[in-house]
Amino acid sequence: MASPIQLEICADSIEGALAAAEGGADRVELCTNLSEGGTTPSAASIELTRQRLRIGLHVLIRPRGGDFCYSDLEFEAMKRDIAFARAAGADGIVAGVLRTDGRVDTDRTAALIAVSRPLSFTFHRAFDLTADPHHALRELLTLGVDRLLTSGQSASAPEGADLLTELVDLAGNRLVVMPGGGVNEQTIGLLRMKTGAREFHSSARSVRESPMTYRNPRVAMGANSQEYAWSVVDAGRVRAIRRAAEA
């Protein structure tokens, strides 16, 4: 029997993608640099993940952190990254472009969709920075976007549940509204009941301690880095999130 929901897990490594599959995810969104909200993964990561992963693979296309207004060079890189991911066997592309006035850049988004086809296209949380979410949704429907990843323009999906419910109702069967941001085993059940969403996006992460026995506390590789611990997808949490959603 098919699962009543689809669970997408955000993974920033090949190991994370495989842990998501082990925990029962339906699909992985592969990215890197989660400290900035995710950016495009490397070519090798895309290829190796596709070779090892037996569930759906969507690839995030975002050339940098920060806003979603891109230069001509950044936009050209996005199109080339999409073409590579498609050739490497990805099942879907995740991207989004905005104008300076906070509206969806429909021309550039249409160009990305064209390069992506026949793959599925998800417009990501750039949506949460749009000035008018209802108008933005109508534009995405006109563009033929398959899926929208959003927190309901709030810090987390539970906080944005009212808008998420409106978006699910407005989209109907024309586009999948997928709540993401703060979706975990404590929140997914209520989110599902309130919003009526049928797909959810979660990071399902836990902290992994480094096996290194020698540690130098005087050096840091980045402003917010932890050299001897990092966050990874936890297969156990993926299982717990699915159980909570289906309870």
Q: In this structure, is residue 162 part of a structural domain?
A: yes
| Domain count within the chain | 1
Average pLDDT, the chain: 95
Range of the domain at 116: 7-211+218-246
Q: Between vectors from CA 186 to CA 180 and to CA 189, what angle results, nearest 5°?
A: 70
Q: Is the pLDDT higher at 224 or at 187?
A: 187
**What CATH number does the domain containing 52 carry?**
3.20.20.380
Q: What is the pLDDT of residue 223?
A: 67
Does the pLDDT value for residue 1 go beyond 60?
no
Q: Is residue 1 part of a domain?
A: no
**Which pairing describes strands 6-11 and 27-30: parallel, antiparallel, or unpaired?**
parallel
Burial label for 244, CB within 10 Å (0-12, 13-18, 19+), is: middle
Task: Please enumerate in sequence order all residues whose Cβ is within 8 A of that of 225, keeping only pairs 6 or more positions apart, or say none.
Answer: none
Which pLDDT belongs to residue 187?
Answer: 97
Q: H or E element: which one contains 92?
A: strand 92-95
Share of the chain above pLDDT 90, in %: 86
Residue 212: count of CB within 10 angstroms of its CB? 9
Please state the length of the chain: 247
Q: Would 75 be classed as within a structural domain?
A: yes
Report CA-CA distances (Å) from 171 to 43, 86, 139, 165, 167.
34, 27, 11, 10, 6
Residue 8 near residue 29 (C-beta atoms within 8 A): yes
40 DSSP 8-state letter: P
- Point out the least confidently predicted range of 88-102, 168-182, 224-238: 224-238
More confidently predicted of 221 and 153:
153
- The set of residues, in sequence order, having a beta carbon less than 8 Å from that of 37 and lying 6+ positions away, is 62, 65, 125
Q: Which two tokens stand for residue 54?
A: 């037996």
In a domain, 2, yes or no: no
pLDDT at residue 217, rounded to an integer: 84
Top pLDDT among 217 and 95 is at: 95
The yes-or-no verdict on residue 151 having pLDDT over 60 is: yes
Q: What is the pLDDT of residue 2?
A: 44
Neighbour tally for 72: CB within 10 Å? 7
